[in-house]
Structure formats: structure tokens, C-alpha cells
Structure 1
Amino acid sequence: MIVLFHRLAGSLFALAVPLAVLLLPAATLADGAERLAERLQVSGQPMPVASVHETPLAGFYQVRLETGEAFYSDAEGKFFLVGDLYENGEGGLTNLTEQARNVERAEQLAKVPESERVVFRGTGDSRAELVVFTDTTCPYCRQFHEEVSTLNEMGIEVHYLAFPRAGMNSQGARILEQIWCADNRSEAMNAGKRQEAISGSTDCDNPVEDQYHLGMAVGVQGTPAIVLPDGRLVPGYVPAERLADMLGLAK
């Protein structure tokens, strides 16, 4: 079978190479999405399907794999479309795929308990929460950290998660593990951002590696990576006033 891959490059769609797809016997399930999840195979191997959802495109489903990759499939799994699905409405193009990514990203991050975060919040009422993947060896992360007090004054909490950008065998990973193992994580984070030595062990039950893999799963490619409450991912340094504007909290 010839399968058509659909990739979005700029504003144009490009066609990619064919892929052979084999199908399992149809499961006797009432729900089409569940049936598709059960029957999808590639080269004789079951696909690691994490979820299947209906789309506004009649007859097509969004399939998300356990690796985080996503594509679209017809109900029989004979044809795949790889790329983003857009709705052409009165207000212009709406990226439906990115909207779905945002929802899933927000849901995944909500599962991280506060006990596994390094949280900076102000003394006043909280108005919004940012989740930020960080690495103390990253200059732009240090620049962002200088804005944290300003964000707190605006009622914006900053919840740090660990993302050693050079991997788990890096110096950055070791520093992050020291921070998460510290008795006072916020003070240790402040010291790390100032590039000061952090005393203490890395030998504790810390979540740094899990958060590193979580970051990759939700699309983090560098630091800082700022996630807004609705799940939108904002890569790189963004000034406090601009973030407040994006949150609808600008003065």
C-alpha cells in the first residue's frame, strides 16, 4: 500500500515518501478511534499508540504515539498524513494540531506535583502560573531569572522544572540535581543562577531525569522554555512585561 505523508513547510504542503502499513484483524469495538488504535501496524509491528482522537476532517483521526509524535490516519489505517491540520475560517488559519498539542502539554505538566518543582511566588494573590524548563548553565535562563521578582510582583508564579540542555551526563544536570536535593531549593536555584557553587549531594531521589524526558516529550528543544497556563510553549527568553501581556495581565 502506498501511504501519503503530508508535511507542512511554511505555508505549503509537501509530499513525502510512501510507507507500507499492515493491519491487524478489525477489533469488534464500537468506537472507531479505539478500533483504529487496536489495528495499526507498521512492517508487521504494532504501533505504540498513546491516543486516537476524532478530527473535524471527516473520516480522519489524529494518532499520537507514546514517543510524542503525531500524525493523521483514515479509519482503516491505510493512509497517513504527517503535519499540522489547519482550519481555514473567517478569522484566517487556525492550527488545530497546535491547539491539541497545547491541551496535551498542559495536561502533562499538571501531573507534576508542586513538591517536584522549584516555585517562586510573590506575597500577594496569585494571578497566573508559568512553568519554565531551566538549566543554570544557560545564559538566557540566568537572564530570565533576573525577571522572576518582577513577575512575582505582578502576581505571576514561576514554577521551574529541570532540563539539562546538554543531557544527563552534563555538568548542568549535576547542578540541577544538587538544587533538587537541597533543603532549600529556591535558595539553591538562586545560587545556581548566580553561578555560585552549591554544596550538597546529588544522591537523593530527585526528579531531574524524569523532568528532562518530560521536557523532550512536550516539545522542549532548549532553555528557557516557558509554558503558559493554556499549554502554549514559548521558547527562549521573554521579558516580564511581554509575558504579562501574553497572559492578559499587562498594566
Structure 2
Amino acid sequence: MHRTRRILSLGLAAVITVLTVATAQAAVPEALSQDLTVNGKPVPVESVSDTPMQGIYEVRLKSGETFYSDADGSFFVVGDLFANREDGLVNLTQQARNGERNQRLAKLPEDERVIFRGAEEPKAVLRVFTDVTCPYCHKFHEEVPRLNAMGIAVEYLAFPRSGLGSAGARQMAQVWCSDNRQETFTAAMNGEAPTNAPDCDNPVADQYHLGLDLGVQGTPAIVLPDGRMIPGYVPAERLAGMLGLDTGKSG
């Protein structure tokens, strides 16, 4: 009887210990987000997440910066976190960025984009931050019919590279306010600045700020379906190859 009680007591103690440790570990991210300071000043933390490394947490600031910290914020590591796997190094930091990029873009209503797609259901969708005054954006737009023929839809988002007070921002506002966005957008890409579109509430400023948050530094910025972002002009065949699609000369 005494032996049974002793075993039960030990088992209960072990369960309590495990629960206490789990509770302490679960509380760490909240403590970091509330109490993190640098040079005696509180740091505006957006989120704290676990990593595969025990005792190391990913800290994302409201400014968009990401770094890694120990449990109490005594030590920081700035840079990308990699997993060393049998098939090679995997950039876990980049994977997290890609996932967040996809989630935020998926929240944008379809009617706030300028969409070009073929007659068939698309095999893949590219989201492209663009500027109608950007020469390489003009070159990319020439590839859109070829992309559509290969089953790749293109959804454009506005990113006036010279800022919201630029000519590009004003032209894109008119594109987004026009009755036929596709036609007006293509005309603008061909150098015909829109002049007769009415003023309206438009998403150009919001999309510009979103692009900044997601790391867009220039145009075109092409976001692949897995969230990876490709800076600059890329030919249609190469994009199709990156997507694992047939690059045959159809259409």
C-alpha cells in the first residue's frame, strides 16, 4: 500500500513538473512582447514565435524587422535562421516571410487588383507590384499575353516607385478609377497617360504601403504562388519554368 502511494505521489509530481515547465515556456513569448527593451526603452513588438531551436524565439517588430532572442531578451541574433537537413540548407526565416507575404496578399479583395488571365482556369497566379512609368514594367507587361496563353494569370498591384506624390501614383489612381481597368492599364503601359478617368476612392496608397511592408524595393516585383518575391523583369518562359509549367510555344 505504501509502495503504491509512493508511486502515485512520484507520478503526480512528475506531471506537475511537466505542466509547470510547459506553462513557463508558453508564457515566454508573451513576456518578450510585453517587456522587451533596448537601451532602456520599450521596443514595439508585433509578434513572438517559437523556432525549432530550443530557447530561441523569433521576434517581429511593428516596423517589420525580424530578429531572434533568448527567453528574456538578453541576447539577440540578427540574420536568417537555417535548418541543416539531409537535402541541404533550408532558410526558415525566408519561408516565414513567404508565408506571411502570401497571407497578406490573399486578404486583398479581387476588385482592388488589375487582373489579366486567359480563357481557361489559371494553372498559377502571379501577383506583381508595378508602376505604369517603369520601363521594365512595360517590358514585363508585353509578356502578359504569353503568360496567359501558358495558363498563368497576372494580378497587378500598384507600387509608385517614386512615392505617392509622383506622376506614376496619379496615373495609377486614374487607372484604378477607370471603367475598364485592363484597357486603361495597358494604354498607360504603352505610354498613353490616362486623362479622363474620374476621381474615386482607390487602393493605390494602401497597396504602396503594403508593398513597403512586404519588402518591395523596386518594380516590377513578382510574387510567386509560394510567396517568394522575384525582383525585376523576368521573361515569360523563365517564369513558367520556375512554376514548373510547360514552356512550349502554345498560343
- TM-score, length basis structure 2: 0.85
> Where does 1:41-60 land on structure 2 (aligned, <5 Å)?
41-60=37-56
Please, what is the CA RMSD of the aligned residues?
Answer: 1.5
> Where does 1:98-247 land on structure 2 (aligned, <5 Å)?
98-201=94-197, 203-247=199-243
Letter of the 2:151 counterpart: G
- Whole-Å Cα distance in 1 between the matches of residues 147 and 27 of structure 2? 46
Letter of the 1:209 counterpart: A
1:62 aligns with 2:35: no
Shift in CA distance, 54/30, structure 1 to aligned 2, threshold 3 Å: closer
> Where does 1:91-102 land on structure 2 (aligned, <5 Å)?
91-102=87-98
Counterpart position of 1:20: none
Letter of the 1:225 counterpart: A
Q: Of Structure 1 and Structure 2, which has the larger fraction of its residues in helix?
A: 2
- Whole-Å Cα distance in 1 between the matches of residues 197 and 180 of structure 2? 13
1:37 aligns with 2:8: no
Q: 1:180-234: CA deviations, max 9, x gaps?
A: 1111111110011001131234631101011011001101000000000110000
Structure 1: runs of 5 or more not aligned: 1-27
Which of structures 1 and 2 has the bigger CA Rg? 2
Structure 2: runs of 5 or more not aligned: 1-23
* Percent pairwise identity: 62
Q: Of Structure 1 and Structure 2, which has the larger fraction of its residues in strand?
A: 1
Shift in CA distance, 29/202, structure 1 to aligned 2, threshold 3 Å: farther
Q: What is the total number of aligned residue pairs between the two structures?
A: 224
Letter of the 1:36 counterpart: L
- TM-score, length basis structure 1: 0.85
In the TM superposition, residue 250 of structure 1 has moved relative to its aligned partner by 2.5
1:84 to 80, 83, 105: 80
